[in-house]
Amino acid sequence: MSSSVPTSLANGRYQLGQLVGRGGMAEVRVALDKRLGRTVAIKIMRSDLANDEIFLTRFRREAHSVAQMNNPNIVNIYDSGEETIVNDSGQTERVPYLVMEYVKGQTLRDIIKANGPLSQRDAEQVMLGVLNALEYSHRMGIIHRDIKPGNIMISDQGVVKVMDFGIARALDDSAATMTQSQGVVGTAQYLSPEQARGETVDMRSDLYSAGCVLYEMLTGRPPFTGDSAVAIAYQHVSEAATPPSAVIPGLPKMWDNICAKAMAKDRQNRYATATEFKNDILTFMNGGVPIAATFNQLTDLANPGARTGEATQVLNPPQVTTQTNPVMPVTTNPFVDPEGETRAQQREAEQQQRKKKRIIIAVIAAIVAIAAICGIVFALMHSKKTQMVTVPTFSSSTTEAGAEAKLEAAGLKIKVETDTNSTEPKGTFTKQSPAGGKKVAVGSTVKVWFSAGPSTGTVPDVSGKSQDDARSALEAAGFKVASSTQTEDSDTVSKDNVTRTSPAAGSKQSKGTTILLYISSGMTKVPDGLVGQSKDTVLSTLQERGFNTSVEEESSDTVPSGAVTRLDPVPGTSIEQGSTINVYVSKGKEQVTVPSVVGATYASAKATLEGLGFTVSNSTQNAKDTDLVTAQNPTAGTQADKGASITLTTKSSSSSSSSSSSSSASATGSTQQETNQP
């Protein structure tokens, strides 16, 4: 393209990605629909075509028509629009684009190019998918006009998807044969004879092209090739393709017949409908005899004698009869003829009979002529009464008054219907019958539906369901499901299953609202807020949330006995569902045996007790460090909480220094002995 491709379209809704295809008329890019969170393919037209009003009119009309189709074998069109961009010369241009379903796979053209002919079974399955698409589109009144391997996608899951439905006249690649008004008439190698002659096309023209595709799938090459599109088109009109069985030895000759009937030069001799074509293939697949068994135009046209249209008649030589006993003539009286009178009477009777026959034939001819004249008169009168007009095509911007005005101008009547199943705003046009572009008699009634406004529904609870089941339940309730999902941890929902939705289950939402699914990662977090609660409460909570537990006891200066001190792993840690959590339960404060310090100096006793974690107080006022301890509370050997207060009673040591020293030594030894005891 001559213009710079923007990074996004529709005010940033479509974020453009990598280029996945390019043709003479357009290029295709992968894009992200940021509003709906889904991947799409966007076909961006050449900017020079935006100046062709005929092209733009066809593009808008036919894109709208195709957007209403919904078939699993057709690449859906979601949206269309025009983007204003600046070209390389700095000028502003309008560029039309189409937003389509993104199909991850390969075109049939690329598959044949890489692998050659398909197996009979694969060719059958692909053709059934193509014919399903044509069956649906023809029923909708849309003729493709450019069926070819390049417009047929095979997804990675093996689903057949036909592209460019109904817009082939306006859009195509460089292999298309074009008119001066940019109207595509088809791709030369798959062109029906009537397209090559510039005549009007109908659904049988699509079936001819489908026959060419079937031929190429079976043989690995198109039925006709040449140096130019004109040379190929000439062959479509006047020549016969080599039978497939002559190209691929061993291929059942019935394929010759099926291809021949689909590719008959006279469309009257082709399959009448896609359904008839499909049923013939199904009959052959199931071991039956298809209706094409009696049709072998390819073989007949391949025979030079048959092609001249003249049959050679073999004449037998005259036979000579030899009489061994000749019969002599009988001599009679020339004046007497006994049989003459009888013969005369017979001749007169025959003449009378012939005369009667002539009269009868004349009467019959007169009756036929009169009937023909009456028929012509009736047809002329009837044609005047049933003048045909084209049904206008409406769009989402059409109002009820606008639709009525257009129909009245075309000589048609309107019947307004209310669409109660639409998700569009109230008053928006949603559909019409007959479809736009159809031919109907003047005075016919056209039904036009306008939205009653989106109805509301309750979002169903799909937690714990698989993603497929959740999507089905939500869509059945009238909602759309976002193509992307969010992953989160869950205590109880299995990995890859749905944990919740946004908007939430049970909420009232408009039909058509897009629902986001949250998916379980298979991981969960260790719950918070359990430390300090009773053991039984914590164990019950963890087990209800699917965890296994292991209990251990430990002392705690701060947590009361029987309450949980800590968890391992710590709260907030992500672990796999069903993992084991270690629960530590408090035994209360640590218990310490009170040693004996009676007889020791106050300073020594205090140091010993504080070293064991106790606090010390003295009941004697103005006690000195050298005073001797005479009593303690609690008494020696008692179990006390670590950090408990020990009260000491002392007396002055000045009365007997030797006694004091002896007592002090004894007390100190006793204290050390108590301390060293286990």
pLDDT value of residue 574: 85
Q: How confident is the model at residue 321 (pLDDT cuts 50, 70, 90)?
A: very low
Are 62 and 165 contained in the same domain?
A: no
Is residue 513, in this structure, part of any structural domain at all? yes
Query: Sign of dihedral through CA atoms 162, 165, 169, 173?
Result: negative
The phi, psi pair for 456, rounded to 5°, reads -105, 160
Is residue 656, in this structure, part of any structural domain at all? no
Are 149 and 291 contained in the same domain?
A: yes
As a whole number of angstroms, the distance between CA 565 and CA 587 comes to: 10
Query: Where a domain ends, among 53, 86, 101?
Result: 101
CA terminus-to-terminus distance, the chain: 92
Residue 303 has pLDDT above 50, yes or no: no
Active site residues: 146
229-246 pLDDT per residue, tens: 888 888 998 888 999 999
CATH number at residue 12: 3.30.200.20
Structure tokens that stand for 32 in this block: 């992200």
As a whole number of angstroms, the distance between CA 69 and CA 71 comes to: 7
Of 77-81, 123-127, 324-328, 434-438, the poorest mean pLDDT is in 324-328
Is residue 431, in this structure, part of any structural domain at all? yes
Cβ proximity of 257 and 152 under 8 Å: no
Query: Where a domain ends, among 451, 472, 503?
Result: 451
What average pLDDT score do residues 101-125 get? 94
For strand 514-520 and strand 480-488, is the pairing parallel, antiparallel, or unpaired? Answer: parallel
As a whole number of angstroms, the distance between CA 176 and CA 185 comes to: 7
As a whole number of angstroms, the distance between CA 523 and CA 19 comes to: 38
Cβ proximity of 93 and 46 under 8 Å: no
CATH number at residue 556: 3.30.10.20
Q: How confident is the model at residue 126 (pLDDT cuts 50, 70, 90)?
A: very high
Number of domains in the chain: 6
Cβ contacts of residue 64 below 8 Å, gap of 6+? 80, 393, 395, 436
Are 20 and 91 contained in the same domain?
A: yes
As a whole number of angstroms, the distance between CA 265 and CA 194 comes to: 8
Percent of the chain with pLDDT over 70: 77
Is residue 659, in this structure, part of any structural domain at all? no
As a whole number of angstroms, the distance between CA 483 and CA 245 comes to: 46
What average pLDDT score do residues 499-524 get? 91
Query: Which secondary structure element, helix H or strand E, spans residue 302, and what is its range?
Result: helix 297-302
Residue 257 has pLDDT above 90, yes or no: yes
Are 499 and 401 contained in the same domain?
A: no
Of 346-350, 445-449, 636-640, 671-675, the poorest mean pLDDT is in 671-675
As a whole number of angstroms, the distance between CA 32 and CA 16 comes to: 7
| 3-class secondary-structure state, position 172 | coil
For residue 240, which amino acid is it? A
Is residue 23, in this structure, part of any structural domain at all? yes
Q: What sections of 84-144 are H helices per DSSP?
A: 108-115, 120-139
153-194 pLDDT per residue, tens: 999 999 999 988 655 443 333 344 444 333 334 578 899 999
462-484 pLDDT per residue, tens: 999 999 999 999 998 888 999 88
> What angle do the packed helices 274-285 and 203-219 form, to 10 degrees?
30
What average pLDDT score do residues 476-502 get? 90
Cβ proximity of 498 and 463 under 8 Å: yes
Query: Which secondary structure element, helix H or strand E, spans residue 536, and what is its range?
Result: helix 535-544
Which residues define the annotated binding site? 43
Are 129 and 247 contained in the same domain?
A: yes
Are 157 and 36 contained in the same domain?
A: no
pLDDT value of residue 661: 43
Which residues define the annotated binding site for ATP? 43
Percent of the chain with pLDDT over 90: 38
CATH number at residue 227: 1.10.510.10
585-620 pLDDT per residue, tens: 998 888 889 999 888 998 888 899 888 888 888 887
Backbone torsion region of residue 201, taken as left when φ is above 0, otherwise alpha when ψ lies between -120 and 50, otherwise beta: beta
Of 381-385, 386-390, 579-583, the poorest mean pLDDT is in 381-385
Are 113 and 221 contained in the same domain?
A: yes
Q: How confident is the model at residue 50 (pLDDT cuts 50, 70, 90)?
A: low
| 3-class secondary-structure state, position 472 | helix
Q: Tell me the residue range of the domain where 200 lies.
A: 106-170+186-297
| 3-class secondary-structure state, position 594 | coil
Are 96 and 111 contained in the same domain?
A: no
Are 256 and 197 contained in the same domain?
A: yes
Query: Where a domain ends, among 245, 263, 297?
Result: 297
Is residue 67, in this structure, part of any structural domain at all? yes
Residue 582 has pLDDT above 50, yes or no: yes
Is residue 178, in this structure, part of any structural domain at all? no
For strand 639-641 and strand 591-593, is the pairing parallel, antiparallel, or unpaired? Answer: antiparallel
Are 12 and 144 contained in the same domain?
A: no
Strands (E), 371-455: 388-390, 413-419, 429-433, 439-441, 445-451
Is residue 668, in this structure, part of any structural domain at all? no
Are 272 and 160 contained in the same domain?
A: yes
